[in-house]
Structure formats: structure tokens, C-alpha cells
Amino acid sequence: MSPTGPATQGLASDAAVASRETPPADAPVAPREGLEDTTGAVVVALAQMAPRLGDVATNLDRHLTMIDEARRGEADLLVFPELSLTGYFLKDLVPEVAVRLDGPELERIARAAGDLDVVVGCVLESDETRFHNSAIYISGGAIRHVHRKVYLPTYGLFDEQRYLAAGDRFRAFELLLPRASQPRRWRAGIVVCEDMWHPSAPALLARQGIDILICPSASPGRGIIQGAALGTALSYEWMTRTFAQLFTCYLVYCNRTGYEDGVAFWGGSRVVGPDGSLLSEPGGAGEALMWHRLDLATLRRVRIAYPLLRDENDELNDRESDRIRSRRAQD
């Protein structure tokens, strides 16, 4: 599959992108390199990183370093991968690495971020001692939105339901983006990794109106057969492009890298435009801070060309869902 199909090339091509390896913390950061301002443009940075398994203190420090770098690079929004504060295959470490919404870890991130918006991944502990694989949206020094992963994979190499509680909602929210001058507010929804394998999740968010679908991920690479190697990566290639195009929204996919217990996470973070084309080459297998420019003008242009959201028949959807539900109730 070519990164940008000829049929869609050009639609989002003016959303120029610079992607580069992470420079050392003291290196000068070129502000908005190649990302000249246009109407309603925001700069989204993806922190494709390899968290240290079970070591929240070290990971928190690395978050603060990358927040500083994203701030100096004049990003508006910085997205971290799934469970970026903890690592993924936690098993019995879950209660030991969990943080609270009012705890010092998220507070430190919020303070460091200042007017940079951040999406960070962590295990959240509730007052009822439930542990949720969560993605937290922080803006203006406060937590503005929490998504608790709904679909916890418990098959193959996954065992999330043994250790974690499932979320129960998909809610869209406003991005505040105080660093960007906006003709209108951007709206976003979050799905965490496996959530995206259930198309009802992005569909529910799209119905609430979203401009950006954010997917923090910890996807392990597997499959080595010629022609279908790293099958999961191929699946995400298809899903990210398909959902972005069908829901005519930007899709921000931030996957982690590194190895845990011999399992490799394949990286490949990317932003897909609302026409389904990649804004730039996806990240490789190494750590990288990747910069993308998203703009409302492109969204508007694509939605005029493809008014799929306008034509979506919610009333029919509700009616058929009600019918299926009532029939099930009679069984």
C-alpha cells in the first residue's frame, strides 16, 4: 500500500509536515519547522517513545523532557502512547504503578505543560479500587477529559481483563489549544488501541462531532510470514486510513516502541488526513518526536467534497438499534 494514493493525493498535501529523530534535550528546537501558519492550523506532536516497564518516576521525567521539547518547538498538542507513564505488560504491577486523578504525577505534567495541551497514558485508580487503562487530556493546567479504555483485549498475548476494569463510555470533548489562534474550537475523541478494532467506537464519537480522533496505542508486532509480516501494523494502516476517511476527521495514531519481555512494539505513529491520506511517512521502529500540522481549512474542503457526516442517517441507526434491542429482550 503506497503512503499516499494518487486519488487522494493533494487534498491534505498542503498540511506540510516535518518529522525527525528526538534531539538531545539541550539542542535548539526549530519552531514550526516547515509548518507555516494558515487558518485554523494546529501543530500536533507525537511522542513515539518506549516507556520503562513499571518505572513511573523515570517515565514521568521523560514526559517532562518531551513536554519541554514540544513547548520549545511550539507544538499546540502533544500526544503520548498508551500507558506511557507505566509501560504495557504490567501484570501484577498494575496496583503499584496506578495514579489518581488528583495525584502528584498528573499534577506535575499539567504544571509542566502550561499552555501546551497533552494526552498522556496511565493506569488510573478509582475510589472503588478499580484500575483503568486511561488516556488523560490535560489543558491549561487541568485535566479536561478522561477516556477509560472500553475494549480490554484478553486473548492471544493480551491479558488486560485479568488486571484492569473496563471503561463504559465514548465521549467527544473540546480541545482548548490555548497556544493556537482558532476560528472555532476543535473537537476530539479518544480511542485507546483495541478500542479502534470496534468500529462502533469511532462511529459513536463521530456522531458527537469530532475533528480529530486520537488513538494512543501499545501495539505489539507479530507475524513474520512473507507478504504479511507484522500483520498488526498492516491492520492499523488500513484502520487508521479507513476511519479517517469514513468519519472525515484527522486521525492521530501514536504507538509506542521498544521491547517488553521479548515482545517488540512496532511504532509507526502517524497522522492521517480526513481524506484518508497520510500527512507524512509513519514513524519507524525507534523513538521519535514527530510533528504534524492539521488545519480546519482541509477538514472543511474534504467535508464539502465528501459530505458523509451530513448524510449519516442517525434516525435510521437509532430505529434499527431499538428494534434489535427489543427483539433481543423478547428472546
Partner 1 sequence: MSQTVSAADALRIDTEVVLSLLVGFVREEVHKVGFQRVVVGLSGGVDSAVTAAVAQRALGPDDVVPVIMPYRSSSPASEADARAVCDQLGLRPVMVDISPQIDAYFERFPEVDRTRRGNKMARERMSILYDLSFAERALVIGTSNKTELLLGYSTVHGDMAHALNPLGDLYKTQVWALARALGLPDRVVDKPPSADLWEGQSDEEELGFQYALVDVLLYYLVDERRTRVELRALGYADDFIDLIVQRVRDSQYKRRPPVIAKLSARTIDREFRYPRDWGR
**Minimum distance, C-beta of residue 61 to partner 1, in the bound complex (Å):** 15
In 3-state terms, what secondary structure has residue 113?
A: helix
**What are the DSSP calls for 148-198, one per residue?**
E-S----STT--HHHH-PPP-----EEE--TTS--SS-EEEEE--GGGGGS
Q: Which of 30, 143, 166, 264 binds partner 1 (CB under 8 A)?
A: 264
Cα–Cα nearest to 123, from 188, 68, 28, 192: 192
Closest CB 328 distance from partner 1, rounded Å: 31
Sheet holding 142-148, edge to edge: 17-20, 288-295, 41-48, 77-79, 117-125, 131-139, 142-148
Nearest Cα to 62, choosing from 194, 256, 262?
A: 256
Query: Are the beta carbons of 192 and 135 closer than 8 angstroms?
Result: yes
Which residue among 7, 142, 229, 305 contacts partner 1 (CB under 8 A)? Answer: 229
3-state DSSP assignment of residue 1: coil
262 binds partner 1 (CB under 8 A): yes
CB atoms within 10 A of CB 133: 31
CB of 157 to partner 1, least distance (A): 12
Among 40, 81, 221, 283, binds partner 1 (CB under 8 A): 221
Which is closer to partner 1, CB of 74 or CB of 260? 260
In the window 165-194, what residues touch partner 1 (CB under 8 A)?
Answer: none
230 makes contact with partner 1 (CB under 8 A): yes
The Cα 15–Cα 36 span in angstroms is 9
Cα–Cα distance for residue pair 268/209, rounded to 1 Å: 27
Q: How far is the CB of 60 from partner 1 (least distance, A)?
A: 14
- Could you say whether residue 91 binds partner 1 (CB under 8 A)? yes
Question: Of all helices (H) and strands (E), which one includes residue 270?
Answer: strand 270-272
Nearer to partner 1, 99 or 172 (CB): 99
Nearest to partner 1 of 238, 259 (CB atom)? 259
Please list, in sequence order, all residues whose beta carbon lies within 8 angstroms of the beta carbon of residue 328, skipping any fewer than 6 positions away: none
Label residue 56 exposed, middle or buried (CB < 10 Å: 0-12, 13-18, 19+): buried
266 phi-psi bin (left φ>0, alpha ψ -120 to 50, beta other): alpha
Among 81, 189, 258, 273, binds partner 1 (CB under 8 A): 258
Stretch that binds partner 1, among 137-145, 210-218, 221-229, 317-325 (CB under 8 A): 221-229
Nearest approach in angstroms of CB 251 to partner 1 is 25
Q: Binding segment for partner 1 among 126-134, 140-148, 241-249, 258-266 (CB under 8 A)? A: 258-266
Spell out, one character per residue from 10 to 49, where the chain touches partner 1: x when CB under 8 A holds, - when not.
----------------------------------------
Among 8, 13, 22, 52, binds partner 1 (CB under 8 A): 52
Applying CB under 8 A, the span of 119-127, 208-216, 261-269, 307-315 interacting with partner 1 comes to: 261-269
Measured from the CB atom, the residue of 14 and 61 that comes closer to partner 1 is 61
C-alpha R_g of the chain = 19
Under the rule (CB under 8 A), what is the footprint of partner 1? 52-55, 89-93, 221, 224-227, 229-230, 258-262, 264, 285
